[in-house]
Amino acid sequence: MGGMHEDIDRVLFSESTILEGIERVAADVTEHFRGRDFTVVSVLKGSCIFSADLIRRIPIPLELAFVSASSYGDRTTAGELEISFFPTGEIEGRNLLLVDDILDTGRTMARLKREFLDRGAAEVSTCVFLDKPSRRDVELEPDFRVLEVDDLFVVGYGLDFAGRYRNLPYVGVLEQSIYASVLEPSVDADSNA
């Protein structure tokens, strides 16, 4: 069994490039929320590494929560979004920073943002590690983003394929041979959830 690094076609963003970007975004987030209570809501599982690195660079008080979002539908249409919020509790009146690993079509982020606003959040800002605007299906721009990426199948730094590669310290393009035989043509080849 080969190592993970052999499955990577090329490295897109090194660990140092990633951390420089996170420092920049953390400074922007700090200025945005300074003097206000806010909660960082990390979308599981992909954003856990990014969220951990981000919050350690924000030198103002914050709370941390997690949300799990699963869409139940067929392969071509988005179904109902099932949301589990941890800790469970009141969202009403809170300032939220919704953090995800990648903003692709934008459907999940838009639905999460709408759901939190419907539940009475005072503010829902969005923060993404990677932004892939070429794949956007809905009108949504992140309030904060670390890096922009082309329409490539990327893994590492929280992004996975079949549950693997999240622990790579960089973002790389996965060898096409790794995913081509697994994915059917009708399946979105870039669901880095």
How far apart are the C-alpha atoms of 64 and 87, rounded to whole Å? 9
- From 7, 100, 101, 104, active-site residue: 104
For residue 28, indicate whether it is catalytic.
no
How far apart are the C-alpha atoms of 2 and 4, rounded to whole Å? 7
CB neighbours of 163 closer than 8 A, spacing ≥ 6? none
How far apart are the C-alpha atoms of 81 and 75, rounded to whole Å? 14
Token look-up 């987030």 returns 29
Query: Which tokens hold the place of 76?
Result: 């071509």
Residues tagged active-site: 104
